[in-house]
């Protein structure tokens, strides 16, 4: 704190209502050019007011408008704050330098750098807006920084052993100028103001969709007279600063609960901050004289609709992620698993790049082999296929959209090397092969591939050894599910075929080629809302086999970025959902938009003693890379969902 500037703030009108503290208090600011203000918790009854002073830097004011801490030498025009234990975390963008993070002592108001000796985190863009968010469920804090043109950079605040740091998660585009941002109280949405247009919201989660949704528009398309700045308080009410009015909105539907004219003392305000009880407006002084004034008051006595508490979903973290696939965009799709017969730690993960071919990874996620087979979509593995010369190989089979056939590989049992053994003499009848699963019949030792299409067609092909030690196919059954389907898995000992109809639910059929497969000869495991508990799309399916009878069916519920867990055996009791979230310590991001998955029940070493689940990650963020596959120990599923 600099004693030379102690008296640069002079309270010029006070009217205090004892019942709730401030009731229209105006404080005159004599230094700098007041641009913005943020309310921050204090141990006193009223919060600290942290002000951005443009070339005057930043200062912390007490409830009487007196500075308790100042930092000069920075060009600060926007500021935001959230509580962190017994301190307050403050963010401020400096357009030509980067992002500042300070802490404020809740007892004294003292400012200090958050990240070691320097408060500045340099960036390669020009930030003009910044705000802070907190996820209490994971105890994680985030920074959102935006450029004047509307590009938002989403960072995680990482508490490293040496110093704190910002780790970029993703970038978002609002499509126009941004003058402020504020996270919703529930941590689900980020609200932003676009002057002349209105207020938007974007999903705040690291894995959320990169789309914006309208909240409230400026006239003539809406009821706002302008959208200069937004602030969401602890109650969940959204406050919007307009030109002549301050609007108080319900975040659940964007309805205006009430509005108030901007007081005469606050006309021309560009700064706004609210908390659970208070609101403060900041007005810049004259162009020549600088300074400005703060108008502080209690919030109006209105309450938004109580937000429904979202159901708590267990969260697990991946401990391994594979190297990304080479193709950009929607490329990685479906994993499979090959168990090494002698050393389970030498087992392999197979993963499709549906633009280029098949990857083979070891259990650390490193690429062991790449097979440029074309547009392979889904892949599966079975063991002990007999070739015509009497030798036995393990096999991997995939649907291939490049030539409309099945791609078939043999897997060397000694070293896990894959070798192409056939593409199937028969073309698939379906126009575009999509999903696939294998079935090994215990009745006649026959192997089958079940391929499906986006039209809901299913073709069952028997795999047949040829005289030249290769494998061909023969169509033995076909049927229709009803609409788009991809994920499928067969429980071989029970001849039970599970198929995911993406927009309807999970069906169970008899997998035997001579069994009926009409709608009268199947049953529904679970369905999409409102009749069931699932959310479209239903994607990958896999089985965790616990002995001959016990185990679980796992489904990728892509539309909700989560996974569903059921008993393996009818009536397939539902055990719950789980989500795969980021691990800040390892830097492995969370999982979203999952297509395919695979589950393994074997002991694969200390890290995966109870097996693993391997899932495709549709958004590989933090940092942004091509898609890949994430690996979670099955023990984490047991601990979070089954116990």
Q: What is the 3-state secondary structure (H, E, C) of 155-188?
A: EEEEECCCCEEEEEEEEEECCCCCCEEEECCCCC
Better-predicted residue by pLDDT, 427 or 88: 88
Q: What is the pLDDT of residue 22?
A: 57
Q: What is the pLDDT of residue 425?
A: 64
Q: What pLDDT band is residue 369 in, cutting at 50, 70 and 90?
A: very high
On whether residue 269 sits in a domain, the answer given is: no
Pair 480, 595 in one domain: yes
Query: Does pLDDT of 423 surpass 80?
Result: no
Q: Of the candidates 243, 265, 298, which is a domain's last residue?
A: 298
Pair 162, 110 in one domain: yes
Query: Does pLDDT of 602 surpass 50?
Result: yes
Domain housing 385? 316-642
On whether residue 304 sits in a domain, the answer given is: no
On whether residue 274 sits in a domain, the answer given is: no
Average pLDDT of span 477-485: 96
Q: What pLDDT band is residue 310 in, cutting at 50, 70 and 90?
A: low
The tokens for 326 are 């080479």
Residue 478: Cβ within 10 Å count: 15
Query: What are the angstrom distances between the C-alpha of 595 and each of 93, 468, 559, 619?
Result: 38, 36, 10, 11
Pair 574, 479 in one domain: yes
Better-predicted residue by pLDDT, 586 or 335: 335
Pair 132, 241 in one domain: yes
Average pLDDT of span 494-513: 98
Q: What is the pLDDT of residue 475?
A: 95
On whether residue 413 sits in a domain, the answer given is: yes
On whether residue 218 sits in a domain, the answer given is: yes
On whether residue 281 sits in a domain, the answer given is: no
Q: Which of 82-86, 149-153, 297-301, 320-324 has the lowest mean pLDDT?
A: 82-86
Query: Does pLDDT of 4 surpass 60?
Result: no
Q: Considering its fold, how many domains does the chain have in total?
A: 2
**CATH number for position 190:** 2.120.10.30
Query: Does pLDDT of 15 surpass 60?
Result: no
Pair 330, 294 in one domain: no
Q: What pLDDT band is residue 304 in, cutting at 50, 70 and 90?
A: confident
Rounded Cα distance, 113 and 120, in Å: 8
The tokens for 76 are 């600060």
Pair 487, 343 in one domain: yes
On whether residue 57 sits in a domain, the answer given is: yes
Q: What is the pLDDT of residue 19?
A: 34
pTM tops 0.95: no
Pair 339, 224 in one domain: no
Distance of CA 471 to the CA centre of its chain: 42
The tokens for 246 are 């301050």
Q: What is the pLDDT of residue 307?
A: 64
Q: What is the pLDDT of residue 125?
A: 96
Query: Does pLDDT of 86 surpass 60?
Result: yes
Rounded Cα distance, 503 and 417, in Å: 38
3-state SS of 71-125? ECCCCECCCEEEEECCEEEEEEEECCCEEEEEEEECCCCCEEECCCCCCEEECCC
Average pLDDT of span 428-446: 94
Q: Which of 7-11, 433-437, 517-521, 607-611 has the lowest mean pLDDT?
A: 7-11
The tokens for 635 are 């023990």
Query: Does pLDDT of 17 surpass 70?
Result: no
On whether residue 628 sits in a domain, the answer given is: yes
Query: Does pLDDT of 5 surpass 60?
Result: no
Pair 294, 330 in one domain: no
Average pLDDT of span 40-55: 92
Q: What is the pLDDT of residue 206?
A: 87
Q: What is the pLDDT of residue 8?
A: 37
Rounded Cα distance, 434 and 487, in Å: 9
Pair 242, 337 in one domain: no
Query: By the 8 A CB rule, do 562 and 536 touch?
Result: no
Better-predicted residue by pLDDT, 16 or 202: 202
Distance of CA 437 to the CA centre of its chain: 29
Pair 245, 342 in one domain: no
Average pLDDT, the chain: 91
Pair 76, 170 in one domain: yes
Q: Of the candidates 298, 326, 354, which is a domain's last residue?
A: 298
Average pLDDT of span 119-128: 95
Q: What is the pLDDT of residue 400?
A: 95
What's the angle, vertex CA 168, arms to CA 162 and CA 169, rounded to 5? Answer: 125
The predicted-structure confidence for 534-564, as pLDDT tens digits, reads as follows 999 999 999 999 999 999 999 999 999 999 9
Rounded Cα distance, 487 and 507, in Å: 11
208-218 CB burial, b ≥16 within 10 A, e <16: beeebeebbbb
Pair 236, 326 in one domain: no
Q: Of the candidates 236, 265, 298, which is a domain's last residue?
A: 298
In the chain, pLDDT over 90 holds for what percent of residues?
Answer: 79
Rounded Cα distance, 502 and 484, in Å: 6
What number of CA atoms fall less than 13 Å from residue 529's CA on the CB side?
8
Q: What is the pLDDT of residue 2?
A: 34
Rounded Cα distance, 494 and 528, in Å: 25
Average pLDDT of span 473-502: 97
């Amino acid at each position: 704190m600099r004693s030379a500037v102690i008296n640069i703030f002079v309270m010029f009108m006070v009217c205090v209502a004892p019942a709730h503290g401030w009731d229209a208090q105006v404080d005159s600011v004599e230094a700098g050019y007041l641009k913005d203000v943020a309310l921050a918790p204090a141990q006193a009854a009223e919060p600290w007011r942290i002000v951005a002073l443009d070339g005057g830097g930043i200062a912390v004011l007490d409830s009487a408008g007196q500075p308790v801490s100042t930092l000069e030498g920075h060009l600060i025009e926007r500021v935001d704050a959230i509580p962190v234990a017994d301190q307050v975390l403050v963010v401020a963008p400096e357009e030509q330098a980067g992002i500042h993070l300070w802490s404020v002592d809740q007892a004294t108001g003292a400012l200090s750098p958050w990240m070691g000796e320097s408060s500045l985190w340099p960036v390669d863009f020009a930030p003009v807006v910044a705000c802070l968010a907190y996820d209490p469920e994971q105890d994680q804090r985030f920074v959102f920084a935006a450029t004047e043109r509307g590009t938002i950079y989403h960072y995680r605040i990482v508490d490293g052993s040496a110093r704190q740091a910002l780790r970029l998660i993703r970038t978002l585009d609002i499509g126009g100028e941004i003058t402020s941002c504020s996270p919703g109280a529930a941590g689900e949405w980020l609200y932003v103001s676009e002057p002349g247009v209105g207020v938007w919201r974007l999903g705040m989660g690291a894995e959320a969709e990169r789309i914006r949704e309208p909240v409230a528009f400026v006239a003539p398309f809406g009821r706002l007279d302008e959208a200069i700045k937004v602030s969401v308080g602890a109650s969940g009410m959204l406050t919007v600063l307009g030109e002549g009015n301050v609007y108080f909105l319900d975040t659940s539907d964007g309805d205006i609960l009430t509005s108030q004219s901007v007081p005469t003392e606050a006309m021309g305000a560009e700064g706004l901050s609210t908390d659970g009880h208070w609101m403060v407006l900041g007005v810049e002084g004259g162009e020549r004289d600088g300074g400005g004034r703060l108008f502080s008051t209690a919030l109006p006595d209105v309450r938004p609709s109580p937000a429904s508490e979202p159901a708590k979903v267990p969260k697990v973290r991946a401990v391994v992620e594979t190297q990304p696939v080479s193709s950009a965009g929607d490329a990685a799709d479906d994993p499979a698993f090959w168990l090494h017969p002698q050393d389970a730690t030498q087992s392999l993960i197979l993963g499709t790049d549906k633009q280029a071919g098949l990857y083979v990874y070891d259990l650390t996620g490193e690429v062991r082999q790449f097979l440029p087979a074309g547009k392979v979509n889904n892949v599966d593995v079975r063991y002990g296929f007999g070739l015509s010369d009497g030798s036995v190989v393990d096999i991997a089979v995939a649907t291939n959209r490049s030539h409309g056939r099945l791609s078939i590989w043999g897997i060397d049992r000694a070293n896990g090397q894959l070798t192409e053994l056939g593409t199937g003499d028969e073309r698939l009848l379906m126009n575009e092969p999509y999903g696939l699963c294998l079935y090994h019949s215990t009745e006649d030792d026959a192997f089958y591939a079940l391929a499906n299409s986006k039209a809901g067609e299913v073709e069952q092909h028997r795999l047949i050894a040829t005289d030249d030690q290769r494998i061909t196919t023969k169509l033995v059954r076909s049927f229709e599910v009803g609409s788009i389907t991809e994920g499928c898995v067969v429980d071989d000992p029970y001849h039970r075929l599970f198929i995911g109809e993406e927009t309807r639910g999970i069906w169970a059929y008899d997998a035997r080629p001579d069994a009926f497969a009409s709608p009268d000869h199947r049953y529904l495991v679970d369905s999409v809302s409102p009749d069931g508990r699932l959310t479209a799309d239903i994607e990958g399916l896999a089985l965790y086999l616990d002995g001959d009878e016990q185990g679980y069916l796992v489904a990728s519920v892509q539309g909700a970025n989560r996974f569903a867990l059921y008993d393996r055996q009818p009536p397939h009791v539902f055990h719950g959902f789980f989500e795969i979230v980021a691990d800040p310590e390892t830097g492995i991001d969370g999982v979203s938009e999952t297509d395919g998955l695979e589950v393994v029940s074997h002991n694969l070493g200390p890290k995966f003693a109870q097996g693993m689940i391997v899932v495709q990650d549709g958004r590989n963020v933090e940092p942004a890379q091509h898609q890949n596959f994430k690996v979670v120990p099955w023990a984490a599923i047991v601990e979070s969902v089954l116990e």
